Amino acid sequence: MKLKNHGLSNLLIKRPIIAITLIVLILQCGFIFGQSADDILSKVDLNLSSNNRVFESTMNIIGRRGSRFIKSKTYAEGYKKSFTEYLYPPGDKGTKMLKLEDHLWIYSPSTDRTIQISGHLLRQSLMGSDLSYEEMMEDRKLTEMYKVNIEKKEEIFGRRCYVLYLEAKVEDVAYFTQRMWVDVERFVPLKQELYSKSGKLLKWMKSEKIQKTGERWFPMKVIYKDVMKEGDGTEFEITDIKFNQYITPSIFSKASLKK
Amino acid sequence: MIALKLAIRNLTGAKLRTFLNAAVLSFAFVVLVFYMGLLDGWNRQSKLDMEAWEIGEGQLWSKSYDPFDPYSLQDAHSIILTSYNSEIDRGNITPILLVQGSIYRQGTLINIIISGIEPKQRLLKIPSRVLKSESKEVPAIIGSRFAKVNGIKKGDYVQIRWRDKNGTFDALDVEICNIFKTNVSTVDNNRIWIPIKRLQEMSGLLKEATILVTSNPNIDMPPTDWIFRDKKYLEKEIDNIIFAKKRGSIVVTILLLSIGLLAIFDTQVLSIFRRQKEIGTYIALGMTRMEVVKLFTLEGSIHSIFALILATIYGLPLLAIIASTGIPMPSAVDEMGVSIGEKIFPYYEIGVLIVSVLIMVLAATTVSYFPSRRIGRLNPIDALKGKIK
């Protein structure tokens, strides 16, 4: 130990530039690899996931023939319970959706009827947007679904990011692999690329308006783009969000659809 | 017999009036027979096409399969029983696996059903033999309507997307190696056919199928996972359409017959008015009133016989020509999802012909009788003087 210190001090005296460069490199490596990929993903989960959340959001679907604007309020508990009420446009106002496990109920005020749809509808496009019902309503932890590796570090949107490669470790995931650009300081994904099982890029997501909400950093705006679909994608923006709030259990019941 | 001779003589004497009445009635008859033949031809042709392209001699459906519920398709698959393997090898059973998927054309998502079929099958007319490919690329065939609507040509590569049995997205480029033409829209519209083994691997549904098409209508009763659907069940939809069309044809029949019968009715009313002296003479010479009524009714009925003769002269060759050349159908009809060919060849059933003849003769007799009843109330002296009001 003494010999090592002696050597390092010798190097500092004799070759200060080399020594400083070495120290910086060692520190940088420690910074990169000191954060394990799992740690990074856990921190992402801490930012994005919550026991429950209540949020108001807008969705701007920019298609080939123009855009559609939708406003809604959602109550969600874990990734199995969710209740959404549409507030705008007037034609959809009052439409409510309740998701419990793999079942979805949609209440339409114009017909005063509730329709129950099998879980497969959850995989369909939500009101013609680039995201599905399950993407809109689910909040499953990434660490539960994916094993992860750090590929590299690079800068996007003016922020330094870890580039993570995620591969499914459970069977029931929509996207088998993902590439995720995670802000090194805030641990929020700034960009995600979603791939099919055979490795084809299917969809990308870009996060904007990263805001500090309580203890967590959260992307208030996400742009979803199905790569094969024409148009500029779907802008999903959260206008107000509250985490870990008390939600009356009766919200997640079919009775609440007609209230 | 005297009444018949008199009736024929009176009608032949009326020349043009009789001819016009018979011509109108014969036209109605020919159109009626043609229309019924067209519906029967459509029915027959659709069923033959469905049997050849889609249903064979019956189908075994996976328990959860419901062709009218696309959301149940994800769960509609069952293990193909090993006891059926020899029948599959002999070509007596063709397994088909259906998986929901999508393609994108000009940036628009189109929902499709990826259909897996055995390339060596011969039971259905789907040209699956071109799917025998050893290359890594997945070969695919599609129907001409689907190809036309989406601008897909032979040799094109199309990216298909689907979800495997666990719900994980997957995507693949398939090569369109053949475009086939069929009258059965359900094997064409939004369907991409690929080898069943490839689809089983892609979806994770190894050794599973959604439908087993069979050439044996008396196949062994399947176990609980499979339900046998016979031809009658599978053709119910087309039967319902034809039944509805036939019901609708009653209106057309009534309209057509009314035109002809109205002419006869009109003639009868006019005859009674113009032939008062003749009626008076018949009664004065000893004919009872009822015999005169019978004579006038017979005259009306004979119009329908003349109409039948006339219809045979020009209608028979005309209908025979149409039956051999067929009636071209507008493409919009089959785009609606109804199984229909480019042409419909009318099919004339002898039973339908006999019923049509009977309806016409009975209707002509009935409309002739009602105006003739008035004769029964005639005073022969007034009739002879031509003083009927």
Where are the domains positioned within chain B? 2-52+237-385, 59-229
The minimal CB distance from A123 to the residues B104, B106, B167 is found for: B167
Report the C-alpha gap between B384 and A251 in whole angstroms.
95
Which positions 44-73 of A are in contact with B (Cβ < 8 Å)?
64
CB atoms within 10 A of CB B158: 18
Query: To the nearest whole angstrom, how far is the Cα of A122 from the nearest Cα of chain B?
Result: 10
Is there a domain that residue A242 lies in? yes
The minimal CB distance from A172 to the residues B108, B161, B167 is found for: B167
Number of domains in chain A: 1
Q: Report how far apart, in Å, the C-alpha atoms of A13 and of each of B31, B68, B280, B384 are.
A: 113, 83, 151, 153
Query: To the nearest whole angstrom, how far is the Cα of B109 from the nearest Cα of chain A?
Result: 7
**Please, what is the end-to-end C-alpha distance for chain B in angstroms?**
31
Select from B151, B148, B150, B128 the least CA-distant residue to B140. Answer: B128
User: Is residue A226 less than 8 Å (CB to CB) from chain B?
Assistant: yes
Is there a domain that residue A230 lies in? yes
User: Is residue A200 less than 8 Å (CB to CB) from chain B?
Assistant: yes
Mean predicted lDDT score pLDDT of chain B: 86
Select from A85, A82, A116 the least CA-distant residue to A101. Answer: A82
Domain extent at residue A178: 44-258
* Chain A residues in contact with B170 (beta carbon < 8 A): 176, 196-198
- pLDDT at B6 (0 to 100): 80
- pLDDT at A138 (0 to 100): 67
Is there a domain that residue A29 lies in? no
Phi and psi (nearest 5°) for B263? Answer: -65, -40
User: Is residue A202 less than 8 Å (CB to CB) from chain B?
Assistant: yes
Q: Which residue in A has a C-alpha nearest to residue B158's C-alpha?
A: A228
The minimal CB distance from A197 to the residues B74, B159, B169 is found for: B169
Query: To the nearest whole angstrom, how far is the Cα of A250 from the nearest Cα of chain B?
Result: 28
Is there a domain that residue A211 lies in? yes
- pLDDT at B333 (0 to 100): 59
Question: pLDDT truncated to tens, each residue of chain A (259 aa)?
Answer: 344 445 555 656 666 666 656 555 544 544 454 579 999 999 999 998 888 889 999 999 887 777 889 999 999 888 788 899 999 898 889 999 898 877 888 899 988 899 887 655 666 777 777 777 777 766 688 999 999 999 999 999 999 999 999 999 999 898 999 999 999 999 999 999 999 999 999 999 999 999 998 889 999 999 999 888 888 889 999 999 998 888 998 999 988 998 7
How many CB contacts within 8 angstroms connect chain A with chain B?
Answer: 63
Is there a domain that residue A232 lies in? yes
Q: Say if residues A233 and A221 touch (Cβ distance below 8 Å).
A: no
Residues of chain B with pLDDT under 70: 221-224, 331-341, 386-389
The minimal CB distance from B71 to the residues A121, A168, A226 is found for: A121
| Angle at alpha carbon of residue B308, lines to B305 and B312, rounded to 5° | 145
- pLDDT at A2 (0 to 100): 42
Name which of A171, A196, A203, A230 to mutate to probe chain B: the one with the most chain B Cβ atoms within 10 A of its Cβ. Answer: A196
CB atoms within 10 A of CB B385: 12
Select from A239, A228, A202 the least CA-distant residue to A60. Answer: A239
The set of residues, in sequence order, having a beta carbon less than 8 Å from that of B203 and lying 6+ positions away, is B97, B99, B162, B164, B165
- pLDDT at A211 (0 to 100): 93
**Chain center to CA of A184:** 16
CATH number for the domain that contains residue A195: 2.50.20.10
Q: Report how far apart, in Å, the C-alpha atoms of A45 and of each of A71, A174, A224, B249 are.
A: 26, 18, 19, 67
Is there a domain that residue A61 lies in? yes
Query: Judging by DSSP bridges, how do beta strands B191-195 and A201-213 pair with one another?
Result: unpaired
